[in-house]
Structure 1
Amino acid sequence: MSGKDIRINQLIAPFGPGSIYIDNYGTPLIVGGLDHWMERYDGSSWTECEEKNEFLIAEGRLSTLLEIPLFYTPPYYTYQDKQNNKLTIPVMRFPTWYTNRTGELKQFPLHRKFLPRGEFWKPVRFVAFCKNGHITDFPWKQWIGCLCESDTHLKINDFGGADLNSIRVSCTNCKKSETLRGATSRSSGDGLSPMQRAGISKCNGDRPWLGEYACKEDCNEELVGALISQTNLYYSKQVSSIFIPPVTSDPDVQNMQKILDENAQLLGIAKNLFAMEPDEACDMLRIKLKKIHSNVVYSDEVITKAFRNITSKNPELGLNFQPPNQSESSLLAYRRVEFNCLSAAVSSNQKELKVLSSKVPPKFANYLSKINLVNRLRETKVFLGFDRLEPNPQEPAIMAQDALKQLFKKRPDQAWLPAVKSYGEGVFIEVDNSEIERWITKYKNQLFERIDDSFVTRLAEHWIILEPLGELTKEWALKYLLIHTFSHILIKEFVYQCGYSTAALKERLYISSDSNSPMSGILIYTASGDSEGSLGGLVKLGHPLQFEKIISNAIHRSAWCSTDPVCSENLGAKGASLLNLSACQACSLLPETACEAMNNALDRTLLVGTPENREIGFFAEFLESEGQ
């Protein structure tokens, strides 16, 4: 990197391929695509690193979900004299337009490492992009209508005003001049955008993160101006997974599963063999196995069963779970496997996942059905490309295939995507489903007044909410808001005791109103991409005596917000997506790194009622018993 180190997990978000970051010298750079991530640059050419398998991550269940055979962690830079040393992530200068003290505009190549000595040039603050993910330099000449052949006469002057009307672009040759007023505006309805009125009809499909501007795509989307610091310039798409070790009663199958899980290279070979040569896969795998474990010989049946189990989206867990009545999205079904494992405290591979059952505190026995301590967990996050202007979620397998087109100039022989693996700890809490149903039934009229059909529709349509594929009901929406808000107030209380900051904790929601197999679980956990474990402080708080005090304090704190009565008033939906009711920074909102739903779908009233009507809150009886 150019003058600035970036942590490995930051190359998934927020500094993934196609993103802009500012180095220590104030130079904006765009992170390069994946073509050269596993290669070394000697100043003139690229050569592949000695051992790519050093960066290989084995995650069979996630690989099956995304239909991507391989995941590699971003390479790290080391000076040591060993294989894979001095690997770097390619970056390029972007935007390529710079200005000096007199306001003169000058363009430098993407690959230009240093600017001319003795001259002061600073990068411009503006680029242009479209919602198809393309990004390019701001079209200065087209914006002002300049038809001069040379670019040497352009100037930009900032008069220090509060808006873009104070920034003027001009050509000293043809005397054309315009301010940047409206440059960042989009078209609305049938009206043209300022860009379109200036004759800039569509995006030119530039993809500078893949190299020079010759790497273009056909694109008919409108071009929109932007500041390089705008948040909608880059939305990292990713999917995360908690490793679930499959369970089997056959010790040979169990051992074979362990071998595959601990050897990412062998698992990758197995995927290719079973996909291309299924009849000969077992024989060829045995040859590879002898090099690793010379005294181990397994039958075809054992090898096949172990491979199928470790790569299945629904691995064997040794328990019988009720299947849902309605069909579910691939991600919700994927989460259900995690929920079943965490709820049943299944942990056959305690090096990767260790779950211990705990007791529900007596005061909350009517509200919570289960509390499990996750002493050890492994989280894998895979980068699935990016969006610009607005998020555009799709099925995970579709996003993965689109990412290969977006991140590679030339599709690799073996498809792969970047991923990071991290370890941590957590607490799993399951709210009693029967109690939730009783509460909704008892206060149905009052609760239904808080949300209307349009709110439920917005909730289901939000790009990050895992909604049911069947009928959308207010019962499901109320359940989602209840559990999500409960998760937030617990996280806020945890940080006072566990030693982690709020931004270091995360939530994982398991919510379904399926009549046959409902889910109402929360996993609050921490996982650091740069360590092999955690502090242990989070799990310690899950023990009954301490957890009872934490829940009690969290509920009491949420009963009154410093911005009440304004916060608790139901004046219509709040928040950027109009999906919050009673929620604000003082009571329920968290850093967005901690919240799974980007601080949407929150309503504190569902937990504790309103100051005027406490009885409609889910924990109303607890508050009454505590004399509040």
Structure 2
Amino acid sequence: MSDENRFLYDIAHAVDPLGDLEEEAEKAAKHNRAKVGSARPTSLLYTYGPGAIMDLPQFTIMPTGLDDWDRIWARRDSTPPQIHAPRLRDVVRMTLRSPDVQLRPYPWQPKKHTRSAEGNDLGVPARVFPQWLRCTGCDLLGLLSQFDYRNTHPYRTDLAVFEHAKCTGRVGSGARKAARRTAIPARYLLACPDGHLDEFPYDLWVHRGRPCAKAELPTLKMVDRLAGKGASAVIHCASCDLRRPMNEAQGEVGRGKLPQCRGRHPHLDAFEPKGCTNQTRLMLVGASNLWFPATWSIIVMPDSPQEKADDLADRVRTVLGDNLAMFRDQPAVIRALLATGKVDVTKLSEQELEDVLQAAAAPTDTPEQQEQKLRDWDPVDLLVPEWQHLLREFHGHRTEEPKSGLTLAKRERGPELRPEITRVLAVERLRKVNALVGFTRIDDMDRVGDLPRRLAPLTRTSRPGWTVATEDRGEGIFLQLDENKVAAWEKHVEDSVVWTHHREAHRRNFERRFSETADKVDHLTRLKPPRYWLVHTFAHILIRELALTCGYAAASLSERLYAWPAADGREPSAGLLICTTASDSDGTLGGLVQLSDPTRLQQVVNSALRKAARCSSDPICAMRTPQDPEDFLHGAACHCCVMASETSCERANRFLDRRFLLNLPGSALGFFEPHE
């Protein structure tokens, strides 16, 4: 283990797909190609990031940790590009406890035409995982080394395949000539709540923890006649004829038969130095809880003067490095070095440059200060600058900020628009930046926020220099609710029986999910206030209605909620932004912004509220309230009326209740007045 790594790692086994490709080319033989597929940036961030398992047509792969990506970037002479989002970058640095983290896009370059070679040396490195494969012809269960890999077609990555070269078919099917048969991944894994993942030990499983009595390297087979029916396979040792079904590993009883976690991070090709004390759980390759991304995102707003100064000081510190202290008293040398690093300080006076250098030379926080800052930080702080800017008055009908790309246009209120809505903006252009800071397994990040060890790392180093990010461009509609009415309504809801039930359900939910830390944290600090439930539910019914006429599917629309009460140094908020973005284009088509027209918007809002008054599951849905021992975090809400897709909702369909929008039968908690 090297000094810079915090895991047990053998650098001799480093993932280097292009290096392997070059070695194959030197043999002057028909070589296997390095590229095995492609994916959009959003899917690589939210579904198939480092540590996740991606399904390819013939096998599965796992994108590696960011350390291995550096080999890809190093093949270019130029400095890797960076994404400019200082506000997000600072939060990522705090979360990763590393003062030098930069935001980089995925390693990719567009091609001039289909057969051109631009960008062939860029891509996301990955390893085959799991590395146990099963022959589809004879059920042979073995490691990669027992199968042949073939990927020779330059334009058909879908043909890349592992094959059993001398498959003779299943026993009892008669004598057959040896032929090549496709091998597919064996679909069982072992997962750990702390983010570890490991191969399933099939040889130890079938022999119940002992070596095979007949062979040192036994021949295993996976007999599976009910594919897709859970743990339905049977592991058979052809050497000693022992059999053991995989369904013995399922459930609470089966968990006791599984081995203890080894602390393995396959995306880092590394192990925890001190191992892991957790009990493993059986996991399927395609399970939805195998990988949950931990991300932060912002809508990029124009930088304030202080943010501009801080960003310049940071770029100066990054470019100069040790030269900052060495040439601190030589402004001419400093200017020359910064010019080489493409940091423009030509317009700064000597005093202004001195102020920048002083800020750049300021000492970074100690580890203790970093931990304290992280404990005190509230994710709402990411949203406050956005809310403040969206409320800012501007001259004229339209304003455009070139650097951030944010373009806002005022919209008049239609005569029939609900009076509770006080401000409408058409967000004609916006830029959203998303950064990955880690991932969890088994439970989503919001369930393990008090347990930092469960956030699996993206690198082997304890102080990463960068993390991957994406830039999304698109459009949206911003609505602000009347703060005075929201405050009065919120006080009324907090005194209601329904809110008491929601609060108790949240307490039960919190204590069960945060079992290791629930006694140290007040669950009310995690319960969203009534105004959040109101804004959240309103956003969902708007997404459903907008999707009918804007030209985008509901899953392509997402919400950004601004709903928090007044706090120290923070004004209250009650508003929402419904937007659609794309990460691999210059923007969107404008169909959503068109619906901000006063006449159209009032029709959308009125129609959405009218439909929310009834649900096909009523009266069950309308009167749903969690009762002990229930711990669900929604009330009058279901997939028939309010709930949205994962890509649209920022809270996984929690904190929703139609009763907070409208007066439903048996309830008088609606925020919006009855409207004919």
Structures share a fold, TM > 0.5? yes
8 Å Cα contact 2:224-2:233 kept in structure 1: yes
Counterpart for residue 600 of structure 1:
654
| Cα distance, 1:294–1:71 mapped onto 2, change above 3 Å | closer
Counterpart for residue 428 of structure 2:
375
1:142-184 residue CA offsets vs partner (Å, 9 max, x unmatched): 2231412634322221242885574221323334322112424
SS class of match (1:427): strand
1-structure distance, mates of 2:573, 2:79: 38
Counterpart for residue 581 of structure 1:
635
2-structure distance, mates of 1:383, 1:94: 21
Counterpart for residue 50 of structure 1:
76
- Is the counterpart of residue 196 in structure 1 residue 256 in structure 2? yes
- Choose which of 274, 277, 282 in structure 1 pairs with 2:324: 277
> How far 1:138 sits from its partner (Å)?
0.8
8 Å Cα contact 2:663-2:670 kept in structure 1: yes
8 Å Cα contact 1:14-1:236 kept in structure 2: yes
Counterpart for residue 530 of structure 2:
478
1:207 corresponds to which letter in structure 2? H
8 Å Cα contact 2:64-2:125 kept in structure 1: yes
Counterpart for residue 127 of structure 2:
92
2-structure distance, mates of 1:424, 1:574: 44
Moved more, 569-578 or 92-101: 569-578
8 Å Cα contact 1:75-1:88 kept in structure 2: yes
Counterpart for residue 318 of structure 1:
none
Counterpart for residue 443 of structure 2:
390
- Is the counterpart of residue 221 in structure 1 residue 300 in structure 2? no
- Choose which of 267, 273, 282 in structure 2 pairs with 1:209: 267
Counterpart for residue 119 of structure 1:
180
| Cα distance, 1:204–1:424 mapped onto 2, change above 3 Å | same
1:288-346 residue CA offsets vs partner (Å, 9 max, x unmatched): 56566989431255457789999xxxxxxxxxxxxxxxx97431122112211122257
> How far 1:367 sits from its partner (Å)?
0.9
Moved more, 284-293 or 354-363: 284-293
Equivalent residues in 2 for 1:72-471 (5 A)?
Answer: 72-76=104-108, 85-100=120-135, 101-109=137-145, 113-114=149-150, 115=162, 116-117=164-165, 118-120=179-181, 121-144=183-206, 145=208, 146-148=210-212, 150-160=216-226, 166-186=232-252, 193-197=253-257, 200-211=258-269, 218-248=275-305, 268-271=315-318, 273=320, 277=324, 280=328, 283=331, 286-287=335-336, 290=339, 296-299=346-349, 302=352, 329-344=377-392, 349-352=401-404, 353-364=406-417, 366-393=419-446, 406-409=457-460, 415-442=465-492, 445-446=495-496, 448=498, 451-457=501-507
1:444-483 residue CA offsets vs partner (Å, 9 max, x unmatched): 65454663432343687889xxxxx999399963222111
| Cα distance, 1:482–1:397 mapped onto 2, change above 3 Å | closer
> How far 1:582 sits from its partner (Å)?
0.9
> How far 1:359 sits from its partner (Å)?
3.2
1:95-141 residue CA offsets vs partner (Å, 9 max, x unmatched): 11122233221111599744354432222111112122221211112
| Cα distance, 1:56–1:473 mapped onto 2, change above 3 Å | closer
8 Å Cα contact 2:106-2:470 kept in structure 1: yes
Counterpart for residue 322 of structure 1:
none
1:218 corresponds to which letter in structure 2? G
2:299 corresponds to which letter in structure 1? I
2-structure distance, mates of 1:110, 1:409: 30
- Which runs of 5 or more structure 2 residues have no equivalent in the other structure? 1-33, 94-99, 151-161, 166-178, 361-374, 515-520
8 Å Cα contact 1:577-1:600 kept in structure 2: no
Counterpart for residue 514 of structure 1:
566
- Is the counterpart of residue 65 in structure 1 residue 118 in structure 2? no
| Cα distance, 1:548–1:93 mapped onto 2, change above 3 Å | same
Moved more, 280-289 or 555-564: 280-289
2:622 corresponds to which letter in structure 1? S
Q: What percentage of aligned pairs have identical amino acids?
A: 24
| Cα distance, 1:184–1:88 mapped onto 2, change above 3 Å | farther
- Report the TM-score, using the length of structure 1 for normalisation: 0.80
SS class of match (1:451): helix
2:638 corresponds to which letter in structure 1? C
Counterpart for residue 579 of structure 2:
525
- Is the counterpart of residue 534 in structure 1 residue 577 in structure 2? no
> How far 1:4 sits from its partner (Å)?
2.4
> How far 1:558 sits from its partner (Å)?
0.7
1-structure distance, mates of 2:626, 2:443: 24
SS class of match (1:617): coil
| Cα distance, 1:470–1:356 mapped onto 2, change above 3 Å | farther
8 Å Cα contact 1:573-1:581 kept in structure 2: no
Q: CA RMSD in A?
A: 4.0
1-structure distance, mates of 2:648, 2:92: 24
Residues matched between the structures, number: 573
8 Å Cα contact 2:231-2:250 kept in structure 1: no
> How far 1:411 sits from its partner (Å)?
6.2
2-structure distance, mates of 1:474, 1:71: 29
1-structure distance, mates of 2:330, 2:555: 46
8 Å Cα contact 2:319-2:338 kept in structure 1: no
1:416 corresponds to which letter in structure 2? W
> How far 1:551 sits from its partner (Å)?
0.9
Moved more, 331-340 or 341-350: 341-350
8 Å Cα contact 2:81-2:104 kept in structure 1: yes
- Is the counterpart of residue 35 in structure 1 residue 99 in structure 2? no
1:604-627 residue CA offsets vs partner (Å, 9 max, x unmatched): 1211121455x43111x233xx0x
1:554-604 residue CA offsets vs partner (Å, 9 max, x unmatched): 111111112222211224279997111111112101111010111111111
2:180 corresponds to which letter in structure 1? E
> How far 1:27 sits from its partner (Å)?
0.6
- Is the counterpart of residue 498 in structure 1 residue 556 in structure 2? no
1:487 corresponds to which letter in structure 2? A
8 Å Cα contact 2:510-2:523 kept in structure 1: no
1:376 corresponds to which letter in structure 2? R
| Cα distance, 1:513–1:84 mapped onto 2, change above 3 Å | same
1:184-216 residue CA offsets vs partner (Å, 9 max, x unmatched): 435xxxxxx52433xx441112222234x7787
> How far 1:31 sits from its partner (Å)?
1.4
1-structure distance, mates of 2:480, 2:330: 42
SS class of match (2:234): strand
2:43 corresponds to which letter in structure 1? Q
SS class of match (2:122): coil
2-structure distance, mates of 1:453, 1:153: 57
- Report the TM-score, using the length of structure 2 for normalisation: 0.74
SS class of match (1:428): strand
2-structure distance, mates of 1:534, 1:282: 49
> How far 1:425 sits from its partner (Å)?
1.5
| Cα distance, 1:355–1:306 mapped onto 2, change above 3 Å | farther
Moved more, 601-610 or 97-106: 97-106
1:206 corresponds to which letter in structure 2? R
